[in-house]
Amino acid sequence: MSNEYTSSEMMTVTAAKALENGMTCFVGIGLPSEAANLARLTHAPDVVLIYESGTLQTKPDVLPLSIGDGELCESALTTVSVPEMFRYWLQGGKIDVGFLGTAQIDRYCNLNTTLIGDYQSPKVRLPGGGGAPEIATCAGEVFITLKHSKRTFVNDVDFITTLGFGRDGKARDGVPNIGRGPTRVITDLCVMKPDPETKELVVVSLHPGVTRDDVIEATGWEIRFADQLETTPTPDARELEVLRDLKARTERKHAGEA
């Protein structure tokens, strides 16, 4: 099998590698779900995947189209009510990592999934916060994955739906019982981490073939790069094979449901 891969595959494989075996992960739908299940099917067979629909320790054979697909329930250790999910499991501190996507992100990892424009007369109304506001503050840490573009990486998010580190990078300071917040952002171009002091996102690793200019072009603020800038490891043949199988299975399943 050829080791050629797309930038989307690069993003998913890199995001998957962020999850360690045995972690408990509260999974968002879409890209996070794809990455988390790839992790489970490759290097992290004992990663515990939890979806906000109440499915605890689920092992879906195909990726869910919605957060409440029957597949998630059928392959789960158990399914609890939604209040139990948020109160006992998330707020109760049982989640190591929350894995989120977003529509907009800024330099302090604040996430906007509410709207573009002004709240009272929005240009574009987005679905809203869902589980993210509390996942981001109650989970031990947060991984974020999304495609890199000027539309998504903006200087100021139009609305803070979900806290990264606030508009000044200090919003978690002194708050009791709060998680560490975002610890890495994985895109189709690079991996970023918040600066330990200022909390501003810094590019720590470029994907192979991606230049600094590519990242600068796709970012809505003057993005910083780490002094020791690394190159992200390429996906290996097995990771690509498992990912492609998973996506093909998923496509077949969803196309067949009429």
Partner 1 sequence: MAEFLSLHDAVARYVEDGATVAMEGFTHLIPFAAGHEVIRQRKRDLTLIRMTPDLVYDQLIGAGCAKKLIFSWGGNPGVGSLHRLRDAVEKGWPHKVEIFEHSHAAMACAFEAGAAGLPLAVLRGYVGSELPSVNHQIKYIECPFTGERLAAVPSVRPDVSLVHAQKADRKGNVLVEGIIGVQKEAILAADKSIVTVEEVVDDLGASPNACVIPGWAIDAIAVAEKGAYPSYAHGYYPRDNRFYKEWDAIARDRDTFQVWIDDNVYNAGGQAQ
- Tokens for 55? 């499915």
- Name the minimum Å distance from CB 93 to partner 1: 10
User: Contacting partner 1 (CB under 8 A), which of 2, 83, 196, 213?
Assistant: 83
Catalytic status, residue 84:
no
Nearer to partner 1, 168 or 230 (CB): 168
Token look-up 């910083």 returns 224
- Name the minimum Å distance from CB 201 to partner 1: 16
- Name the minimum Å distance from CB 83 to partner 1: 4
Q: Does 32 bind partner 1 (CB under 8 A)?
A: no
- Name the minimum Å distance from CB 258 to partner 1: 5
Q: What separation in angstroms does the CA of 28 have from each of 65, 206, 211, 213, 220?
A: 11, 24, 29, 30, 24
Please tell me whether residue 24 adopts helix, strand or coil conformation.
strand
Q: Does 70 bind partner 1 (CB under 8 A)?
A: yes
3-state helix, strand, coil in the chain (%, to 5): 25, 25, 50
> Taking each helix axis from N to C terminus, what angle separates 237-256 and 31-41, rounded to the nearest 10 degrees?
120
User: Contacting partner 1 (CB under 8 A), which of 32, 60, 64, 169?
Assistant: 64
Distance CA 68, CA 51 (A): 8
Q: Does 6 bind partner 1 (CB under 8 A)?
A: no
Question: Which residues are 202's β-sheet partners?
Answer: 193, 224
User: Contacting partner 1 (CB under 8 A), which of 35, 67, 154, 190?
Assistant: 67
- Name the minimum Å distance from CB 131 to partner 1: 4
Nearer to partner 1, 164 or 220 (CB): 164
User: Contacting partner 1 (CB under 8 A), which of 2, 197, 228, 258?
Assistant: 258
> Taking each helix axis from N to C terminus, what angle separates 31-41 and 7-17, rounded to the nearest 10 degrees?
60
Q: Does 53 bind partner 1 (CB under 8 A)?
A: yes
Beta strand spans in the chain (E): 24-27, 48-50, 55-58, 76-79, 97-100, 104-105, 111-112, 115-117, 122-125, 141-145, 182-186, 190-194, 201-206, 224-231
Single out the segment in contact with partner 1 by CB under 8 A; choices: 34-42, 87-95, 182-190, 231-239: 87-95
Q: Find the catalytic residue in 9, 34, 52, 71.
A: 52
DSSP state of 251: H
Q: Nearest CA to 25 among 96, 84, 125?
A: 96
- Tokens for 149? 């573009």
For residues 114 to 143, the per-residue mask of contacts with partner 1, x marking binding by CB under 8 A and - elsewhere, is x----x-xxxxxxxxxxxxxx--xx-----
Q: Does 171 bind partner 1 (CB under 8 A)?
A: yes
Residues that bind partner 1 (CB under 8 A): 29-30, 52-55, 64-70, 72-73, 79, 81-83, 85-87, 90-91, 110, 114, 119, 121-134, 137-138, 159-163, 166, 171-172, 175-178, 254, 257-258
Residues acting as catalytic residues? 52
